[in-house]
Amino acid sequence: MLDKIKDLLEEVKGLTAETAEEAEQLRIKYLSKKGIIPSLFNEFKSVPNDQKKAVGQAINELKNTAQESINNLKEQFEQSNLTSGASDLTLPGSQMPIGSRHPLSIVRKQIVDIFDRIGFTVAEGPEIEDDWHVFEALNFPPEHPARDMQDTFFINQDPDILLRTHTSSVQIRTMENQQPPIRAIFPGRVFRNEAISARAHCIFHQVEGLYIDEDVSFADLRQTLLYFAKEMFGKETRIRLRPSYFPFTEPSAEMDISCTLCGGEGCNICKYTGWVEILGCGMVDPAVLSNCNIDPEKYTGFAFGMGIERIAMLKYQINDIRLFFENDVRFLEQFKAES
């Protein structure tokens, strides 16, 4: 038996193959469960005791040599495949690039989180609306000149069906379906028929807020907006309210914050005034409450609205609103750290 093992040893030392398939056939022939070398272990049972040590060592040497020869053949073919451009399926996969949230989504979430901390819930409504919810219920009579302030997209030339120009329509829907106390914010996309430029777009995003309850005052409005400004832009931020006009609030105001870039000292961002306008606000007009079947003798409230793009441009010092809509990867990658 030792002579047989010796012949097989010389045989496996000289193994050759032309393809990987031939190398696999050699493995099956010599090393598989029913191969030549495993069969020697079955014959080993009949070897005389005084020869078992020598035969056992020879079989083990044969097995190790055959395994090494066949492995060398397989490695040669694997290396050949790599150099010829074939894919190595054992290599780790390429790392997929990590995306990021859009800056408008980041700012929207920050605004929602700030108001959530003081009890405001989120409400949303349809983007295609009727004239009642967008204009008339908000104190815009059919011939009211304030309608000219908002260039509207109408659907199929129907003057009653339009793309909403502000999310105030969701305020009306909320007041129609819920009695005070009401404390909610209304984020969403709005549409206005405006020329696209660095400062304006026909599509943009708003967050409006509404608080209605007994004994709500302008002081409550101011403190709410001061809290928001400090949370969004920093504890050193100051605000000021300037008289303004909106059909659905009375009194009405525009709110400015101290310039976050120069700290109020004056720069080109704030046009050297030290202040930057960010939103409009006011006390809900009693006529609007009546339109929604809320008793204006019992309840008062305030409302405010801001453009998310406006806030994002101030927060990240972006000078062109069109960047938010172009999906330029170079622009979006700058916000990975905040996603």
Q: In which element (H, E) is residue 289 found?
A: helix 286-291
Do 25 and 109 fall within a single domain? no
Total domain count for the chain? 2
Note the pLDDT of residue 172. Answer: 97
In a domain, 93, yes or no: no
In a domain, 95, yes or no: no
In a domain, 69, yes or no: yes
Cβ within 8 Å of residue 225, ≥6 positions away: 239, 255, 279, 281, 304
Closest CA to 213 of 223, 203, 221, 205: 221
Please state, in angstroms and rounded to a whole number, the distance separating the CA atoms of residues 322 and 339: 21
Do 171 and 246 fall within a single domain? yes
Give the CATH number, domain containing residue 217.
Answer: 3.30.930.10
Q: What residue numbers bound the domain in which 215 lies?
A: 103-338
Binding residue ranges: 250
Contact 222, 240 (CB under 8 A): no
φ, ψ of residue 304 in degrees (nearest 5): -150, 160
Contact 193, 153 (CB under 8 A): yes
Cβ within 8 Å of residue 222, ≥6 positions away: 239, 241
Please state, in angstroms and rounded to a whole number, the distance separating the CA atoms of residues 119 and 227: 13
Q: Cα separations (Å) of 240 from 4, 98, 122, 206, 280?
A: 102, 41, 26, 21, 12
In a domain, 92, yes or no: no
Note the pLDDT of residue 219. Answer: 96
In a domain, 90, yes or no: no
Do 39 and 121 fall within a single domain? no
Note the pLDDT of residue 80. Answer: 64
Do 177 and 284 fall within a single domain? yes
Binding residue ranges for Mg(2+): 250
Please state, in angstroms and rounded to a whole number, the distance separating the CA atoms of residues 23 and 16: 8
Closest CA to 263 of 235, 291, 287: 235
Do 57 and 180 fall within a single domain? no
Which pTM was predicted? Answer: 0.69
| Cα of 141 vs its chain's centroid, Å | 40
- Choice between 215 and 66, residue whose per-residue pLDDT is larger: 215
Mean pLDDT of the region 295-311: 96
Residue at which a domain ends, from 24, 48, 83: 83
Note the pLDDT of residue 26. Answer: 80
Q: What is the DSSP letter of 14?
A: T
In a domain, 46, yes or no: yes
In a domain, 204, yes or no: yes
Token match 């960010």: residue?
278
Residue at which a domain ends, from 49, 83, 117: 83
What string of DSSP letters covers 104-149? HHHHHHHHHHHHHTTT-EE----SEEEHHHHTGGGT--TT-GGGGG
Do 41 and 119 fall within a single domain? no
Do 163 and 252 fall within a single domain? yes
- Report the DSSP beta bridge partners of residue 212: 182, 301
Token match 């070897």: residue?
47
Do 190 and 328 fall within a single domain? yes
Do 71 and 131 fall within a single domain? no
Please state, in angstroms and rounded to a whole number, the distance separating the CA atoms of residues 14 and 221: 92
Do 79 and 111 fall within a single domain? no
Do 184 and 332 fall within a single domain? yes
pLDDT tens digits along 84-127: 555 666 777 777 777 788 999 999 999 999 999 999 999 999 99
φ, ψ of residue 198 in degrees (nearest 5): -65, -20
Contact 222, 241 (CB under 8 A): yes
In a domain, 151, yes or no: yes
Note the pLDDT of residue 333. Answer: 86
pLDDT band, residue 31 (cuts 50/70/90): confident
Mean pLDDT of the region 163-176: 95
Do 150 and 28 fall within a single domain? no
pLDDT band, residue 149 (cuts 50/70/90): low
Please state, in angstroms and rounded to a whole number, the distance separating the CA atoms of residues 174 and 126: 12
